[in-house]
Structure 1
Amino acid sequence: MTFASRCSECGFFLGTSSDDSQQISESFAVRVDTTPEYYKLLSSNDPPYESCDVELVDSVVSETEKCLERIDDRIARLRSRLAQLEHQRLSLSKHLARNKSILSPLRRLPDEILVEIFSWTLPSIVTMRRRGSFDVTQPPWILGHISSRWRAVALASPSLWSLVAVNYTGTVDDRLPMPRAMLETQLERALTLKIHFYASEKAAISPQQWMFEFLAAQSTRWEELSISLTADLLPLLNRLRGQLPVLSRLWLQWDSARSQPKAAAQSELIDTIDCFETAPALVDVGIYNEYAFVPVRLPIRQLVRYQLDGPLAVHRRLLEQAARTLVEVHIDLCFHPPFWVDSDHITIPSLRRLYIRDSIVLDYLTLPALEEVALCIWDLRTASYVANIQSLVSRSACPLRRLCVKGLLTSQSTLDLLHALPSVAELAFIAHSHYSKNGAEELIEALSDVSAAPHLSGVFLGCENKCHIDYALYAEMLRARWEADHCALHRAALLIDSNWDSDSLSGLTDETRFDLDVLRGEGLDLVLCEGVEATEVIGGWTFNSVWN
């Protein structure tokens, strides 16, 4: 049984019935006694002829309007009540969230863990170069706007503020110009500085000179310097001799062919960069001489790593004088014929990683600690590479475990290398251009036969410069080796560089992605990487400076 009473104000029935629609229908029903003639009028276009019919319709209209008024009033009351409930719910939700936050593990994180998390939010140098300005909506600036503790931790962590990138090349976002006050604030918060300065011959000279001099005033705090030089900046750079006490890493290149080292206000040629010779902490050097070789004086005997495009004589001097300290070397021979004056061997006892583009270098080195070698092959006559590296390994008795091959790959020469070097457990090959595509695919097919180098525990493929590879073929090769008996494969990687506009252009289909994911799910340690990150990893395979 349902007990209900009508509201005296709106006419709504208040009862215990669970049928709300029935209550609504009863509460707002039009209660007028009608006649058959009335329904005839409703279903036709005839006018009412009797006065009683007119009075009936008038009463129906009046009663209906009253019902609508009651409904509108009821709706308004319900909306007001709903708004109150929603406001109350929002207030309670916030109260609940604030109380839950008290129990959040984030509140118990040690400051050093929080700093580590913050460091992973910092933009990459590629992002900072493209942005071309300070952005207060991005880390580390935004970290001070979350909570008082986050702000305190961020401000007390100099490492979060050490990277300074200034870019005058290409198109940058000028909507947020770099204000001097912001730059000064960042320099105050940092302890040591990682300076990335990209000058341009096409941009106005004065702002670049002013900015470089402003940063150079802090050169005693420079820990890292990556610079793209112009002719006008070279004299300013050379003035820093003796003012780089903590500089440990250096990357130097020239903006353009017009950036040949002439003093901006002098007629004589500045033929040497000597400001780094007295840097007592400098151990890692990369110099890219794209247009002409410019001598750079370095503290050679303390170098742990160097990368250089230069004549063989310069490389020989570096190798001889830094033989006791070198661990990694990236050698590009250029500007003079690769002619070694005599046959003396250079023994570098601690060198573990070596990149070469000309195999002649291998004939004059003894590397007892060599573990990884990267070969850039642009000569179809690859027999010399096989003989040279086999001779090096035999002479050095080194524990070579990883081989990277880039350029004009041939499956036979690579297999010959693997056969000649049974200690090699990991193979990386980089398809760099259309000309190396066929060789890479032939090598993939050859490796599908597990009897070819069954000892390989890692097979890695990198693709650069829109070099289209049949990635399905690579997945099939991995599957064949993964399922083979007594096969050592447990690691693999497929890296596609950042020049692709879309997955469809890269040729990596959803089906191939699925096949690779299945292999990963079965236990293969497989890395699939595209874009800027892939470019950096591929660069690391050939021991390029990837930090800049």
Structure 2
Amino acid sequence: MLLSDTERLQYRLEPTPETIDAAWGTIQSHERAIDDLEDRIQDLLHQVQDLRYDQAKHRAAIERCKGLITLARRLPEELLIKIFEHCVEDGWTRAPVVVSHVCSAWRKAALAPKVWSHVYVNSDDPKALDRTRFWLEMARGANLNVTIVTSWRILPRQVMELMPVLVERSAQWRVLKVETDSLRHADLILSQCNQPTPELRSIEVRTAALDSNGSEGVSDLVRLAAWFNKDFAPRLASVSYISTIVPAVPIFPEHLTNLVLEIKESPSHRPLSAAAILAVLERLPELRTLSLSMPLVYEHEFIAEPDPDRMVELPMLTAMAMYGPTDLNELLYHVRAPSLSELYLRSLEDLGYRQRPIGPTLTRFIETSAPPLKLLELHDIDLDPDTFEACFAALPSLEELRLHESSISDSTVHLLNGPRGLCPRLRRLDLRWCGHLHGRALVNLVQSRHVVDDLTGPLSDPIEEVAVINCCFVTEDDVLDLARMTTCRLVMRDADDYCRTCQCCTNQRYRTRLRLRHITEFMDRNAGIKLVL
């Protein structure tokens, strides 16, 4: 019987001894060849490793050479010190320690006492005492910016251990900041500041009126005026006080020139009142700048001053900003500031707080004080045409006008047209969300200010700068016409642009306002239709 090829493979004959010896000889020959190749591979790998090592040495040499010529190494030591200072000011409290590990030049610059002059004391840190001592030792005789942070969880004993170390250097204090969620702890910290602070320029206190258990702690920080008076802190100029309630009694040193008062709430047991604010202001006759920011949370509405004849004289005040409910602006009725050059009025319109017309109060303030206003900003505060006209007529020195969410009309803007228009010194306009104003009115205003009288010459200053944001009736053609005559800004101010800080001119806000405007216009056209939102 014949076998298939598969069967022949299955039933092949056993190899002979000669075949087996030949196979083993071939295997051993290949294994020796593999071993030789492996030895050559290892030799090559060792050579590669040596070459990699030589390559790394060359790269390290290159980096050292680059380090010698890099801009960071060539920066003057004074500039490095200034950069390190800014790092600390921006909140990087460990900057002096970290930058000192970069290189010898940075280490030398980091040893400058000014780099260690920002002493950040966090009482919650168990190593706060040792860290504070180390920082003060490194700062040596430099002026100190001291920040003390504590919370209601910290025992008074821990604060009492820290404060003597700081107070020992109180003669070097330039800035003092106290941040705590307990008014009792803030009072405890200030109670230890019983040594003169001849170099102190600024104090900032951020605190709350209630302790953690909800009970009232210290009523007011009266020690602020007691320990930082003109004798103990003769150079103190600025105080920033951020708390949950307005002080019931005057707590600020009388020689202050700058005050920031920010209140977070208006509780029923201590409601926000004009009387309390006026009591604070009438003890500060040397004020030059004033910022009042009132609460966003209301349990009790603002209480107006019952005495219509009460008046606070602030003869040296040059700049005032008020942010809060429109009722807060009633304070203007009781303030006389004959030197005021900048006035910022901002309301809480978006929060739905009940608005009251500010026109009569603002008009009376301008007519009574006769301030030489150069800048007027109305943010979410509107005026009727008659009030606009009265204010413009009483402000011959006005140089800059900022209106946000205003219904100023074309006819009102026409009052400013030159060469004999109102506000003859007006040079800058900033208009945002002015939904009734047409671009052609702005073009006519700018054109009219360039007209020169044949007999007397120019009577009004030309408009130098126009900012228009989200004004729906200002078209592209209007912008092009304005650009030919004046400066059209494409970027908001960096320094004092309030919209940038409160993020009100965002796309979402624009869409919402545009939608509400369309709804309002629809309802005006269809007065008989009831619209339910």
Range of TM-score over shorter length: 0.5 to 0.7
- Is the CA contact 1:312–1:336 (under 8 Å) kept in the aligned structure 2? yes
Q: Work out the CA distance in 1 between the residues paired with 2:114 and 2:250.
A: 29
Residue type of the partner of 1:234?
Answer: D
| Identical residues among aligned pairs (%) | 16
1:147 is aligned, of 66, 89, 103, to 103
Instruction: Output one character per residue of 1:502-524: Cα deviation in whole Å (capped at 9) or x when no partner.
Output: xxxx9879xx9xxxxxxxxxxxx
2:69 is aligned, of 100, 103, 108, to 103
- Is the CA contact 1:354–1:372 (under 8 Å) kept in the aligned structure 2? yes
Report matched runs for 1:226-245 at 5 Å. 226-227=177-178, 228=180, 229-231=182-184, 234=187, 237-245=190-198
| 2:254 maps to 1:300 | yes
Determine the structure 2 residue equivalent to 1:286. 240
C-alpha deviation, 1:238, in angstroms? 3.1
RMSD: 4.5
- Is the CA contact 2:167–2:195 (under 8 Å) kept in the aligned structure 1? no
CA shift in 2, pair 1:113/1:304, >3 Å: same
**2:292 is paired with a residue of what secondary structure?**
strand
Determine the structure 2 residue equivalent to 1:91. 57
Q: Work out the CA distance in 1 between the residues paired with 2:111 and 2:386.
A: 57
C-alpha deviation, 1:220, in angstroms? 2.5
Q: Work out the CA distance in 2 between the residues paired with 1:325 and 1:496.
A: 25
Determine the structure 1 residue equivalent to 2:288. 326
**2:196 is paired with a residue of what secondary structure?**
coil
Determine the structure 1 residue equivalent to 2:83. 117
| 2:138 maps to 1:189 | yes
CA shift in 2, pair 1:426/1:232, >3 Å: closer
Q: Work out the CA distance in 2 between the residues paired with 1:481 and 1:307.
A: 44
CA shift in 2, pair 1:291/1:397, >3 Å: closer
Q: Work out the CA distance in 1 between the residues paired with 2:478 and 2:110.
A: 47
Determine the structure 2 residue equivalent to 1:517. none
1:361 is aligned, of 331, 335, 338, to 331
- Is the CA contact 1:425–1:458 (under 8 Å) kept in the aligned structure 2? no
C-alpha deviation, 1:232, in angstroms? 5.5
| 2:170 maps to 1:219 | yes
C-alpha deviation, 1:306, in angstroms? 3.9
Instruction: Give TM-score scaled by structure 2 length.
Output: 0.63
| 2:362 maps to 1:389 | yes
CA shift in 2, pair 1:121/1:252, >3 Å: closer
Residue type of the partner of 2:375?
Answer: R
- Is the CA contact 1:209–1:233 (under 8 Å) kept in the aligned structure 2? no
CA shift in 2, pair 1:232/1:100, >3 Å: closer
Gaps of 5+ in 2: 264-271, 296-300, 393-397, 406-431, 444-462, 493-498, 512-533
**2:358 is paired with a residue of what secondary structure?**
helix
Determine the structure 1 residue equivalent to 2:466. 457
1:163 is aligned, of 103, 118, 136, to 118
| 2:348 maps to 1:377 | yes
C-alpha deviation, 1:152, in angstroms? 2.1
Residue type of the partner of 1:490?
Answer: R
C-alpha deviation, 1:97, in angstroms? 1.9
Determine the structure 2 residue equivalent to 1:527. none
Residue type of the partner of 1:181?
Answer: D
C-alpha deviation, 1:106, in angstroms? 3.2
Higher relative contact order (CA 8 A, sep 6+): 1
Residue type of the partner of 1:223?
Answer: R
Instruction: Output one character per residue of 1:145-168: Cα deviation in whole Å (capped at 9) or x when no partner.
Output: 222332222112x33212233345
- Is the CA contact 1:272–1:294 (under 8 Å) kept in the aligned structure 2? no
- Is the CA contact 2:262–2:294 (under 8 Å) kept in the aligned structure 1? yes
**1:285 is paired with a residue of what secondary structure?**
strand
Determine the structure 2 residue equivalent to 1:490. 489
C-alpha deviation, 1:445, in angstroms? 7.9
**1:74 is paired with a residue of what secondary structure?**
helix
Determine the structure 2 residue equivalent to 1:78. 44
**1:485 is paired with a residue of what secondary structure?**
helix
CA shift in 2, pair 1:270/1:179, >3 Å: closer
Greater mean deviation of Cα atoms: 98-107 or 77-86:
98-107
- Is the CA contact 2:206–2:241 (under 8 Å) kept in the aligned structure 1? yes
- Is the CA contact 1:201–1:256 (under 8 Å) kept in the aligned structure 2? no
Determine the structure 1 residue equivalent to 2:421. none
Report matched runs for 1:495-506 at 5 Å. 495=500
Residue type of the partner of 2:489?
Answer: H
| 2:408 maps to 1:446 | no
- Is the CA contact 2:144–2:173 (under 8 Å) kept in the aligned structure 1? yes
C-alpha deviation, 1:98, in angstroms? 1.5
**1:224 is paired with a residue of what secondary structure?**
strand
Instruction: Output one character per residue of 1:223-280: Cα deviation in whole Å (capped at 9) or x when no partner.
Output: 22222354256356235345222221112243441375559xxxxx996652122421
Q: Work out the CA distance in 1 between the residues paired with 2:386 and 2:37.
A: 90
Residue type of the partner of 2:254?
Answer: I
C-alpha deviation, 1:291, in angstroms? 4.1
Residue type of the partner of 1:254?
Answer: T
- Is the CA contact 1:326–1:350 (under 8 Å) kept in the aligned structure 2? yes
Q: Work out the CA distance in 2 between the residues paired with 1:59 and 1:476.
A: 96
- Is the CA contact 1:313–1:340 (under 8 Å) kept in the aligned structure 2? no
Determine the structure 2 residue equivalent to 1:208. 159
Q: Work out the CA distance in 1 between the residues paired with 2:434 and 2:167.
A: 54
CA shift in 2, pair 1:70/1:389, >3 Å: farther
